[in-house]
Amino acid sequence: MLGIETSCDETSAAVVADGQSVRSLVTYSQIAIHQAFGGVVPEVASRQHVAVITRTVEQALTEANVQLSQLDGIAVTCGPGLLGALLVGLSAAKGYALVSGLPFFPVHHIAGHVAAAGLEAQWRPPMLCLVVSGGHTELLVVDENFRFQRLGGTVDDAAGEAYDKVARLCGLNYPGGPEIDKLAAQGNPDALDLPRSFLDSEELSFSFSGLKSAVANRLEKARRNHEYLPVEDICASFQQAVLDVLVTKTSQAAKKTGLRRIVVAGGVAANRGLRQAMAQLACRADLEIFFPNPVYCTDNGAMIAAAGSHMMKAGRHGTLDVNAYANLSFAEWQNLTS
């Protein structure tokens, strides 16, 4: 399966066998370009995708040593994401599908993140999924037919977005997650008293914008009082607040659904603190927790190819009239295929 991903700031293509074995993965990251702006600029992202998409796909095919005609299908992210960026990958995929006559699989970006857990590992649905990325924080259930049910999610900012915003407040580089991850390991998680939304509620919801504002207010107060706050302590305290919420909500969702196998996916799943905290939860609550290899946590074509394979196995094909969708619910996505 060829997988193509262009929903945000990575142009990526991969060839994956059986939803599991990565034969090639080529990613052109635009991070360096967007760093100058402190975040992703949509129009710049689209133009950059156009510049490298063909090269990326051709290189993925070459590295996997396959011709287009030897593939079983073509999978591509059709949403959610930046509309202009999505359109580039989608149009390229449609072109390849049209000339080759291969089956076409439009993939939901979040379903791709979840499928990353099956790369170079065993794929074992039904599973509970916590997806934490720059655009999403969601609790889901994936079944044997690669169908998704949403249990809950963020009511405002995504976890990764909060990482990026807090990093910016601290004067760190974009994307902020990896920077905060590193510094947090050297700081005191109890140094700042920060809020943990919905922690005492049974509701499977998240909110991170209040946490970001609390960090901003605390930094402002320190500035006014000429108080020195080590950046390591800010990062450690912020990260601890995020982790407490993610772990508690995942534990509540496991209890509610009775599911014992859990996938943690998305860019923030690369976080070392989150991996540790979830491993502790697994021990405490007798759960099996799977993390994709960190290489496959951030946006990439391999996870999209894997998702396409799961769709093919479930007999869910798409047609070439599928559009790109900035917003796309799982129900809407599932209606795109038959």
Contact window for Zn ion (CB under 5 A) among 116-124, 129-137, 200-208, 310-318: 129-137
Total site size for Zn ion, rule CB under 5 A: 2
Strand segments (E) across 40-153: 74-79, 104-108, 127-132, 137-142, 148-153
Q: Phi/psi at 272 (nearest 5 deg)?
A: -70, -35
Q: Which does 271 bind (CB under 5 to 8 A by kind): Zn ion, ligand KG4, none?
A: ligand KG4
- Least distance CB 163 / ligand KG4 (angstroms): 5
Q: Which does 175 bind (CB under 5 to 8 A by kind): ligand KG4, Zn ion, none?
A: ligand KG4
- Least distance CB 187 / ligand KG4 (angstroms): 14
Nearest residue (CB) to ligand KG4, 160 versus 187: 160
Other Cβ atoms within 10 Å of 80 Cβ, number: 21
**Cα(264)–Cα(117) distance, rounded to whole angstroms?**
8
- Least distance CB 315 / Zn ion (angstroms): 26
Q: Which does 5 bind (CB under 5 to 8 A by kind): ligand KG4, Zn ion, none?
A: none
Chain residues that interact with ligand KG4, rule: CB under 6 A: 8, 133-135, 160, 163-164, 175-178, 181, 266-268, 270-271, 298-299
Nearest residue (CB) to ligand KG4, 138 versus 181: 181
| Counts for the chain of helices (H) and strands (E), in that order | 11, 10
Q: Which does 79 bind (CB under 5 to 8 A by kind): ligand KG4, Zn ion, none?
A: none
- Least distance CB 108 / Zn ion (angstroms): 11
Nearest residue (CB) to ligand KG4, 152 versus 266: 266
Contacting residue, 11, 24, 56, 133, with Zn ion by CB under 5 A: 133
Query: By CB under 5 A, is residue 181 in contact with Zn ion?
Result: no
**Cα(307)–Cα(299) distance, rounded to whole angstroms?**
13
Three-state secondary-structure class, residue 10: strand
Q: Which does 112 bind (CB under 5 to 8 A by kind): ligand KG4, Zn ion, none?
A: none
Q: Which does 164 bind (CB under 5 to 8 A by kind): Zn ion, ligand KG4, none?
A: ligand KG4
Contact window for Zn ion (CB under 5 A) among 86-94, 157-165, 235-243, 291-299: 291-299
The DSSP secondary structure of 302-322, one letter per residue, reads HHHHHHHHHHHHTT--B-TT-
Nearest residue (CB) to ligand KG4, 31 versus 199: 31
- Least distance CB 229 / Zn ion (angstroms): 31
Nearest residue (CB) to ligand KG4, 9 versus 71: 9
Q: Which does 178 bind (CB under 5 to 8 A by kind): ligand KG4, Zn ion, none?
A: ligand KG4
Contacts of 91 (CB under 8 A, 6+ apart): none
- Least distance CB 181 / ligand KG4 (angstroms): 4
Nearest residue (CB) to Zn ion, 165 versus 218: 165
Q: Give residue 143's identity as a one-letter amino acid code.
A: D
Contacting residue, 180, 299, 309, 336, with Zn ion by CB under 5 A: 299
Q: Cα angle at 160 between 120 and 332, to 5 degrees?
A: 75
Bridge-based pairing of strands 127-132 and 10-17 is unpaired
Per-residue buried b or exposed e for 299-311, using 16+ beta carbons within 10 Å of the residue's own CB: bbbbbbbbbbbbb
Sign of the four-CA dihedral 37, 40, 42, 44: positive
What is the residue whose two structure tokens read 């196998």?
A: 261
Q: Cα angle at 132 between 7 and 88, to 5 degrees?
A: 5
In DSSP terms, 22 is beta-bridged to 16
Binding residues vs Zn ion (CB under 5 A) = 133, 299
